[in-house]
A and B are shown apart, each in its own frame.
Chain A
């Protein structure tokens, strides 16, 4: 029973990790909290839903389509709401507020188009179960979710570590001015960070839609709040921290539901957050200098 819960928790945690990786990428490179990320996640889920119901795409194509759509949305967000604020003398609260504005805009737009009720996701993966070690069952869907999530986060990690773009991203994260002087196009690198983060968010949206078999305009809020908690628990700007924090939260939530009660589920993330902040304010994988936040 315990190990079954852990498997379920890790599946949920993998999608949390994917959402949190998007937050952490934007925070690491642009030093802003992208409050619209949760709504991009939700729009990604709807794009996936439309692709699956409209064209009967397989799951991987729906995920890819959602990533492209969400990525475009991220590009628009960066161009319209973030880049104009990147000038001298603008309070660092401004990007926070403008992304809140975008998030209200996207959520109410989705409300208007799709209606407030949650829509069922057609089961495009047949419910098959595999038995592990005699006691634990894992469904094909869970394997797909875990596989896609972890593959995407691993791809992000490789991109950051090995490619030219990754090097530019890390340089801008370290010091935008110095990176600019070294010939890095800071604006396009920042746009790339937002686009990549949004694409990850869109993929997470489809996977969560599949997991709970439901998509709704308000599905982003809980994931957004948890994603924020995770990046602090894991350490701001750290992809490894986002993954560790996401998996930890998924497991902790499922265990809390099993042993305490389902109604406390949404508080788990923040109880972990406050506990971690008390012990190690920079997060599990955070550097101490990250505290300047």
Chain B
């Protein structure tokens, strides 16, 4: 039972939030768009959820979708100018978008500036109150109430994550997903084949923004406190690292990367002072020895039971690394 203490449960919750962020980076990338705006969209989601619940008293289960929707709307607005750019240009422009959003939140009245927004209604408290109203003050099945509530938060977050993963997987095997892969492989050729590349890129970009906003809104309700500094350049880089470390060819790569990078700093805690030094060196070494990330198609094929014909063709194309 000691394993289920609130601290561990919180790390596991963050793992789910980070996994959703990894998906939000993966989606535009699967259509060939390297977007570093996830931190910006995440902050829009988080602040929307925080403002709606603190200033307008809206319940948690409406503020989370609202945060995601607000981020998606921002994605549409940014997408029109930004998606005319490709490759490094898009990456830096979206990184810049994140910085502009951060400075804006730093200066607005409603976001409480640099002080951040404290006392955002917490998912744990919400579930505690719910269980209390059901008469479960003493907890259930040997778990006391705080643990039970924290466990419910975990289940809730993983439920949302599972829904997101299911959506992304379903989409990959659909007409839209194939169109995204085609745009990634060669935008001009996909246009010749009758794919509206602009629409597909916009779709992937906005879906990414939606998921980042969702993750932001959930994280606001998990951490109680948000400040503009939570969504800075480091956050954007971190999200990029989830996907690149895990492997950017597959959904599972990003999820694995998010899990590893959420837990690794905790494991390196015993060498507190050196952990970021080691982390940086590990990252550079990783690119030298395994630049495609931990998981790639080849690895998956080796372990999968059914061999998929035609996978080899996909391999050759994606390993050439044409993102732009």
Contacts and interface: CB of A to CB of B under 8 A. Distances in A.
A274 interface: yes
A94 B34 CA distance: 13
A93 B88 CA distance: 10
A151 interface: no
B104 interface: yes
Given A91-B248, A94-B291, A278-B81, A292 B324 contact: yes
A93 B324 contact: no
B240 to A, nearest CB: 7
B26 interface: no
B9 interface: no
B99 A266 contact: yes
A75 B266 CA distance: 33
A287 B105 CA distance: 36
Contact of A267 (B100, B237, B280, B286): B100
Contacts of A236: 88-89
B109 interface: no
Interface of B is mostly: helix
A267 B99 CA distance: 6
A281 interface: yes
Interface in A259-290: 261, 263-264, 266-267, 269-271, 273-274, 277-278, 281
Interface residues of A, number: 50
Given A90-B321, A91-B323, A291-B89, A100 B277 contact: no
Contact of B92 (A101, A112, A228): A228
Contacts of A109: 277
A173 interface: no
18 contacts: A90-B291, A91-B291, A94-B291, A97-B241, A97-B244, A101-B282, A101-B284, A108-B276, A111-B276, A228-B95, A232-B89, A264-B103, A269-B96, A273-B96, A274-B81, A278-B81, A281-B84, A293-B89
Interface of A: 27, 33, 80-81, 84-85, 89-95, 97-109, 111-112, 221, 225, 228-229, 232, 236, 261, 263-264, 266-267, 269-271, 273-274, 277-278, 281, 291-293
